[in-house]
Structure 1
Amino acid sequence: MFIWFMIFFYIVMPSSWHLTVFAGDDASVINIKIMQTTDMHGNILDYKYQSAEKTVDFGLVRTASLIKKIREEYENTLLFDTGDILEGNALGEYAYRSRFFNLGRVHPVIKAMNYLNYDGATVGNHEFNYGLNFLMQSLQGAAFPFVNANIYIDDHNTNPIDDINLLPPYIIQDKEWTDESGVKQKLKIGIIGFVTPIVAEWDKEYFRDKLIVKNISETARHYVPLMKEEGADIIVALAHVGMDADKGLQEKEGNSVSDLSQVSGIDAILYGHTHSVYPSRPGLNLVNTSRPAIVQAGYWGNHLGIIDLKLVNKNGKWKVEKSTSSIQTIYRTIKNKKIPVTGRDTELEKLMMKDHLNVKKFSEIK
């Protein structure tokens, strides 16, 4: 009966009539896949410089294959890193001691990240181990933005209004992505960065009378509304801090991922610093019933963090309807033996080979 009624309705209704379609009935839906690396510590290749041997345990050269595969399968993707990239192995030390940027060259780690077309990154505490000048010169070679909202230049006054950030506190990127109906949609993605305040204690010589570090959550509460005012449809936080605050930190409240997740307006938190994975194992998908989604991708490129966001546009505004956190590993363990689950990115391997050979020579001289 209903079918005949609808046929009659469409045949006899005047051409001047129209049907009202509610936003909830045809709302645009976009699925986004956000990828994360963290705590690489110079480990671009799957190589142990101390023992001079190949490994399947780590290496961005293997993570890169996972990244490329996801980009082939999904159209709407983002790729970020959450810090501790410049220091930690022989490659990092070689780059520091050779002062390559004086010759107009790009830091080897930054070069690898440029190759992979990162959308953004933040700095970790170990970025400051070689001093502020080395850090800033290294970042100049990046073809992608570095953001940090809670490190400020010490102006030696008590007025917070005129404080100046060391790096851009956030950026808003314009993206054109395809929705489930195949229609191109324009979105604004807000990206903000943070680092654990304990960095000021661990690298006192570079921070004292030069830089100050503010509370992470308080800083987020200041900037997130500004990002919304500038039109950010979703906000991604890149946080180099643990789920819990560092044990040696005097002011623990507000300086953890747990606290940051309580800040209204953040849709996803990618974090690093503690060299662990969250969710706790590959294959475990955490469906988030309340925002934000959270992920941590281990260290040295041994895992790739992934956050899936389902965005729905209702009444002209994009909202996260569903989010899922997961990780992918570059190896699996069978009978106490690590078996690679992904191959090397041979193009990245070739790109890094000259630096790799120089590092081996440098290590032998040492």
Structure 2
Amino acid sequence: GVWMKRIKVIIQFILIISILLIALNRTDAKEIMESSLRLRILETTDLHAHMLGFDYKKNKPNLEFGLARTASLIKQAREEEINSLLFDVGDVLVGSALDEYVYKTNYLDDHYFHPVFKAMNGLYYDAATVGNHEFNHGLDFLHKSLRGAKFPYVNANIYIDDQNQYDGDDLNYFNPFLILDRNFIDTNGNKQKLKVGVIGILTPIAAEWDKKYFQGKLKIKNIQETAEHLVPIMKKMGTDIIIALAHVGLDPDKGLKEKKGNSVIDLSEVEGIDAILYGHTHLIFPGKDLYSVNDETGTINGVPAVQAGYWGNHLGIIDLEIIKMNGKWFVNSSHSIVKPVFKTINGKTIPLVEEDDQIVRVMEPIHLEIQRFIQNSK
């Protein structure tokens, strides 16, 4: 009888503990998971002033590139998700007949807006960073061009060369980063205020390639070291998530004296970065099996990443699921994809979207001017 009583007491005790643990877990879960939301991050990169799908050399339309087509993908992507941000990752000004026309005719002496930004402004970019080709025509041309952008530019690792040997007093040439205050809608339909940090990065090879404009004026510092210095500062300033806009390839550029720390792989090792949008090498990611890289989820060392080809032939998309626990937001899961503007069937180019009317309209006058300019140059 005594043993039976003892067993009953033990069983009751176990039951009480179990009930308490279940109750505790439930309140814990309520306390921890305060909110969740989905955020779609969109990327264009290496547009090289290809605003329209038009081959000026052959003087005929081309269905395989142009921001006018990417714009249709951007608008679709925004319709699918309630929360989205749009960024450009550089090399937007130089590399097409439009660029040649603007540069050779001194177009910017008479016009406030570079035609590239006439097209881009209508898409409401949230921010952008510079690519190496932005420096090809010199600093004066760069500044005259950028004044037309109705969205902010950031870069953290280009510094004014003050000619002294001490690094600690160096001043950034651009705003190194910015913090976007954004209202997003969570999965319960409630408004949530988030601080989104955006940092810009450029491959140091740009200082070599455009030496005549950089020498004695600007210098480009190590990518990883710059991010390791600034990301904790951004965190201290209350950022909830941090997005890096990186005009650099997965691997460091050939010809760089200092390769270590100057690639997307190195950048992905910096703690606190939640997503990397990159460009420069005109490749596509996710899309190839590479080391440190998960092609299925589109992550590099666990960090969500995307690279959207070139000339607007793809739109980069990272979907983040962000959850709030104990008052702090963090990325719970992610999915990266690149969406093409065309596909090829039996050697024939099939467009997957039409060109966006708004951009075609805005570009129409300049498009005709470029064609006249090319005719007169022959």
Paired AA for residue 70 in structure 2 = T
Aligned to 1:360: 371
- Unpaired segments ≥5 residues, structure 2: 1-25, 289-294
Contact 1:267 1:291 in 2 (8 A): no
Over residues 163-216 of structure 1, what are the superposed CA-to-partner deviations in whole Å (9 max), with x where a residue is unaligned? 111110000000000000000000000000011100111001001111101000
Give the secondary-structure state (helix, strand or coil) at the position aligned to 1:105: coil
- Candidates 122, 125, 134, aligned match of 2:129: 122
Aligned to 1:297: 308
Percent pairwise identity: 53
Aligned to 2:15: none
Aligned to 1:170: 177
Paired AA for residue 310 in structure 1 = E
- Candidates 70, 78, 81, aligned match of 1:71: 78
Aligned to 2:138: 131
Paired AA for residue 340 in structure 2 = T
Aligned to 1:40: 47
State how 1:77-116 maps to structure 2 within 5 Å: 77-116=84-123
Q: Which has the larger radius of gyration?
A: 2
Contact 1:268 1:291 in 2 (8 A): no
Paired AA for residue 358 in structure 1 = E
Paired AA for residue 157 in structure 1 = N
Give the secondary-structure state (helix, strand or coil) at the position aligned to 2:178: strand
Q: Rate the CA distance shift 1:115–1:241 in 2: closer, same or farther, 3 A.
A: same
Aligned to 2:56: 49
Deviation beyond 3 Å, 4+ runs, structure 1: 19-26, 287-291
Aligned to 2:343: 332
Give the secondary-structure state (helix, strand or coil) at the position aligned to 2:168: helix
Q: Are residues 1:348 and 2:355 paired? A: no
Q: Rate the CA distance shift 1:102–1:23 in 2: closer, same or farther, 3 A.
A: farther
Q: Rate the CA distance shift 1:298–1:88 in 2: closer, same or farther, 3 A.
A: same
Paired AA for residue 132 in structure 1 = L
Q: By how many angstroms is 1:23 displaced?
A: 3.8
Q: Are residues 1:146 and 2:178 paired? A: no
Q: Are residues 1:220 and 2:227 paired? A: yes
Paired AA for residue 310 in structure 2 = Y
Distance of 1:287 and 1:205 partners within structure 2: 38
Contact 2:32 2:325 in 1 (8 A): no
Paired AA for residue 349 in structure 1 = V
Aligned to 2:68: 61
Paired AA for residue 122 in structure 2 = Y
Aligned to 1:252: 259
Q: Which stretch shifts more, 272-281 or 175-184?
A: 272-281
Paired AA for residue 329 in structure 1 = P
Contact 2:265 2:300 in 1 (8 A): no
Q: By how many angstroms is 1:93 displaced?
A: 1.2
Q: Are residues 1:201 and 2:205 paired? A: no
Aligned to 1:15: none
Q: By how many angstroms is 1:20 displaced?
A: 4.8
Q: Rate the CA distance shift 1:134–1:313 in 2: closer, same or farther, 3 A.
A: same
Distance of 1:102 and 1:75 partners within structure 2: 41
- Unpaired segments ≥5 residues, structure 1: 1-18
Contact 1:120 1:145 in 2 (8 A): yes
Q: By how many angstroms is 1:45 displaced?
A: 0.1
Distance of 1:153 and 1:25 partners within structure 2: 45
Distance of 1:94 and 1:289 partners within structure 2: 39
State how 1:270-289 maps to structure 2 within 5 Å: 270-280=277-287, 285-286=296-297, 288=299
Q: TM-score, normalised by structure 1?
A: 0.92
Q: TM-score, normalised by structure 2?
A: 0.89
